[in-house]
Amino acid sequence: MDWTLEVAFLPVTDVDRAKDFYTRIGFNPDHDQSPSDDVRFVQMTPPGSSCSIAFGKGIVEKAGPNAGPLMLCVSDIHAARTQLIEAGVDASEVDEQPWGHFVYFTDPDGNDWNVQYLPYRYES
């Protein structure tokens, strides 16, 4: 039996602002539904990912930000950083470690993200 992680829930204070932020950095807006006045469910997926994020009204009851960083994995860390910067995100410089290269950023609600590039996966 496979166990797959397909959705990570994020606390947000402004659903429209969060949706705009993640759309600007390239996430696909998969769902935006309001089955009642008390619930709004937004699901967004990074390009090429099998795991989405979800947020909205009545979705995550705990106040933000998330408990720890979420990680995106990319094949080109410099292109990823450039895309974030061009989208108006305050992304860190590339942090090159012996085990991988990283860029860090935070969304408008204080949710932390790492972008990871592992050279050994792409360099031969």
Listing DSSP states for the chain in one string gives: ------EEE---S-HHHHHHHHHHTT-EEEEEEEEETTEEEEEEE-TT-S-EEEEEESS--S-SS-SS-EEEE-S-HHHHHHHHHHTT--PPPPEEETTEEEEEEE-TT--EEEEEE-HHHH--
pLDDT in tens, 27-55: 999 999 999 999 999 999 999 999 999 99
Q: What is the pTM of this model?
A: 0.85
pLDDT in tens, 68-122: 789 999 999 999 999 999 999 999 999 999 999 999 999 999 999 999 999 877 7
CATH superfamily of 1-61: 2,3-Dihydroxybiphenyl 1,2-Dioxygenase, domain 1 (3.10.180.10)
> What's the CATH fold of domain 68-124?
2,3-Dihydroxybiphenyl 1,2-Dioxygenase; domain 1 (3.10.180)
Phi, psi of 21 (to 5 degrees): -60, -50
Hey, where are the domains in the chain?
A: 1-61, 68-124
